[in-house]
């Protein structure tokens, strides 16, 4: 029977999780992993830290081992996800840990990727390295929930972002919407963009607002997500701000093969999804396309029609709802359209998981309610 985890084990694993968060939004299709190397014989000295680098490589373990150098020998490695055991563009991290002389490993979660799942742990144990699994596993899985969603359901995790008045309206009857929320909430919205792999909106929003959909926080512009436009009839014009900046931040357009011009702006990547009769593009197929491209975390910033469609199809994993302390009344445009609810039991169930005050505005994060 293995000894229970110590307070030091928890502390170092939390440090590894904090390092892993640095990779959110810029390491896809890989998971964001953190690694901390500790020499217990040197008064618990941390000799190496690492996290998954932009683009997904080098991996966290490789980074930590490089920084530790010879001091890695005899260390305990705290890793937020099972070390890889397969050969990709680089060698297996499990082998690197073995060759470095790691004495013990503490792993938060087993990798859901079938190429790895359990094999990395088995390789470490076969080499004689004491390996504990499961410390803060729920936190580790929550951090990489998009990676889990893509592995299990072949689609990215979807976060729907909305910004409304207190009574749930996104624009006045004339269409005026800038700005309902204040500068603090808008800055947080840009941070949300930086933590996602891609951001999706509809062609109607593009034509009405001509948005950039980038992260414009100082020092974080390089974390702008891939911009995805749902454009069934391929109406995206070369004059849009998106196309004008597509050589800096990628733009992907999802359209139907039989609709619109055969070609569009050269800087835009076209993806083809089937139409659903009288409803436009097939959202489920569109998410599968994005998963095939490696997207694990998708932020949806769209108008009421597309936002409602995601909810109706039960494709929303998280709802980020920014509310301003203002009331518009029924003359405005509601944030959501009809969800065909006739009975209270038919309502979409959400669970509030976090709330914060952003200047005068409030943000509540909701997650999907799991069926009993």
Domain identity same for 113 and 170 = no
d(CA 5, CA 76): 13
3-state secondary structure the chain: CCCCCCHHHHHHHHHHHHHHHHHCCCCCCCCCCEEEEEEHHHCCEEEEEEECCHHHCCCHHHHHHHHHHHHHCCCEEEEEECCCCCCCCCCCHHHHHHHCCCCEEEEEECCCCCCCCCHHHHHHHHCCCEEEECCCHHHHHHHCHHHHHHHHHCCCEEEEEEEECCCCEEECCCCCCCCCCCHHHHHHHHHHHHCCCEEEEEHHHHHHHCCCCCCCCCCCHHHCCEEEEECCCCCCCCCCHHHHCCCCCCEEEEECCCCCCCCCCCCEEEEECCEECCCEECHHHHHHHHHHCCCCEEEECCCHHHHHHHHHCCCCCEEEEEECCCCCCCCCEECCCCCCCCCHHHCCCEEEEEEEEECCEEEEEEEECCCC
pLDDT category at 349 given cuts 50, 70, 90 is confident
Domain identity same for 238 and 105 = no
Q: What is the pLDDT of residues 185-194, one digit of tens each?
A: 999 999 999 9
Pairing assessment for the beta strands 34-39 and 76-81 based on DSSP bridges: antiparallel
Q: How many domains does the chain have?
A: 2
Domain identity same for 250 and 297 = yes
Residue 260 has pLDDT above 60, yes or no: no
Q: What is the pLDDT of residues 150-176, one digit of tens each?
A: 999 999 999 999 999 999 999 888 888
pLDDT category at 267 given cuts 50, 70, 90 is confident
Domain identity same for 114 and 244 = no
Residue 73 to residues 33, 100, 120, Cα–Cα distance (Å): 21, 6, 19
pLDDT category at 178 given cuts 50, 70, 90 is confident
Q: Is residue 223 part of a domain?
A: yes
Domain that holds residue 83: 7-143
What's this model's pTM, rounded to 2 decimal places? 0.93
Domain identity same for 207 and 291 = yes
For the segment 127-156, the average pLDDT, to the nearest whole number, is 96
Domain identity same for 20 and 128 = yes
Q: Which residues are catalytic?
A: 61
Amino acid 372: pLDDT: 42
């Amino acid at each position: 029977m293995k000894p229970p985890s110590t307070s030091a084990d928890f502390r170092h694993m939390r440090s590894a999780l904090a390092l892993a968060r640095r990779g959110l939004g810029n390491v896809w299709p890989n998971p964001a992993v953190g690694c901390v190397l500790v020499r217990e014989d040197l008064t618990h000295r941390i000799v190496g830290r690492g996290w998954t680098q932009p683009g997904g490589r080098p991996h966290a373990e490789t980074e930590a081992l490089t920084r530790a150098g010879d001091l890695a020998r005899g260390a305990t490695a705290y890793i937020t996800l099972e070390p890889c055991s397969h050969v990709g563009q680089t060698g297996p991290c499990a082998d690197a840990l073995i060759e470095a002389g790691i004495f013990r490993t503490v792993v938060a979660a087993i990798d859901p990727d079938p190429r790895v799942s359990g094999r990395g742990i088995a390789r470490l144990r076969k080499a004689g390295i004491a390996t504990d699994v499961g410390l803060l596993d729920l936190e580790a899985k929550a951090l990489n929930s998009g990676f889990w969603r893509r592995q299990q359901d072949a689609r990215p995790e979807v976060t729907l972002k909305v910004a409304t008045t207190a009574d749930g309206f996104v624009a006045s009857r004339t269409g005026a919407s800038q700005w309902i929320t204040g500068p603090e909430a808008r800055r947080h919205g840009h941070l949300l963009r930086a933590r996602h792999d891609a951001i999706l909106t509809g062609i109607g929003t593009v034509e009405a607002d001509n948005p950039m959909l980038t992260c414009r926080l100082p020092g974080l512009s390089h974390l702008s997500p891939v911009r995805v436009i749902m454009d069934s009839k391929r109406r995206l014009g070369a004059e849009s701000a998106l196309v004008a900046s597509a050589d800096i931040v990628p733009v992907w357009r999802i359209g139907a093969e039989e609709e619109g011009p055969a070609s569009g702006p050269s800087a835009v990547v076209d993806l083809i999804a089937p139409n659903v009769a009288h409803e436009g593009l097939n959202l489920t197929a569109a998410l599968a396309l994005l998963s095939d491209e490696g997207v694990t975390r998708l932020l949806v910033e769209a108008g009421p029609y597309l936002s409602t469609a995601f909810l109706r199809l039960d494709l929303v994993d998280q709802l980020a709802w920014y509310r301003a302390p203002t009331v518009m009344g029924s003359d405005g445009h509601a944030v959501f359209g009809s969800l065909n609810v006739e009975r209270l039991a038919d309502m979409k169930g959400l669970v509030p998981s976090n709330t914060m005050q952003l200047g005068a505005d409030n943000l509540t994060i909701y997650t999907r309610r799991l069926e009993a």
